[in-house]
Amino acid sequence: MYGRQILGIFSPEVLLGRGLGLLIGFTLHEWAHAWAAYRLGDRTAYYQGRLTLDPRAHIDPMGILLALFAGFGWAKPVPVNPRAFYPHEKQGLTIVSLAGPLMNLLIAAAGGVLVRLMALSGMVERTTGVLLGGGLVQYGAGANGFFDFLYGVLGTVIIFNLVLFLFNLLPLAPLDGYKIAVGVLPPEYSNWFVRHERETTFVLLMLLMVGLISPQFNILWGVLGPPLDWLYQMLAGLYPVFG
């Protein structure tokens, strides 16, 4: 056994995992939106060159840099024309909005399969991920340094795609969860969300700023942390400790 190795949130393993996780996560997230819209009859994203797996069509340089180092960021939003889904505009927009987060969950699940295979083959004998205040510290015990490094990368890819999955489901504009809420809630409630779109955007910005300035008051992490912890355990077969 190689021994216990502590991976800090700015270690090479985690930085590489962050970069790969966000590059893959943002690209496939936006591609999934474009693909779902195309399948439902909206050609807007297709004509704008967004129905592609080329990261350059989806990545916003400033957005991914902030995601890497500040903890929040963005990709180029896929244009969607709900009128193309007539007479089922709400249903179509809901499906398109769900496609992105579900793709991130699928990426995390694929990473979880690889981590489980590493554990079954004996490459990693015992690993634990510790999620702390929006960062990630991982402890790995593998057969050698390469497998520890690989686990660090894969574990971080899983974490960041789970974050993208959960974060985008929040019912706050302009996130996918807001559009899903508008699409699935009864008219009296969905209309409330539409009327207060600007306010929910302000709430999201305030939550992000408070979490960045005062991590001890990170409300978003308090909401997303426990389900993130549970999903990581379920997908990777490991036991992260939320704190």
Amino acid at 32: A
Distance between CA atoms of 184 and 54, rounded to whole angstroms?
32
Nearest to 135 by CA among 209, 74, 71, 73: 71
The dihedral region occupied by 12, where left means phi > 0, alpha psi between -120 and 50, and beta the remainder, is alpha
41's CB contacts (< 8 A; 6+ apart) are 84, 85, 92
> Residue for token digits 């992105």?
100
**Cα separations in angstroms, 25 against 53, 55, 111, 159:** 11, 10, 12, 11
> Is 30 assigned a catalytic role?
yes
Task: Give the torsion sign (CA, 20, 23, 26, 27).
Answer: negative
Q: Which residue has tokens 């489901």?
A: 169
Catalytic residue among 30, 125, 197, 199: 30
The catalytic site residues sit at 30
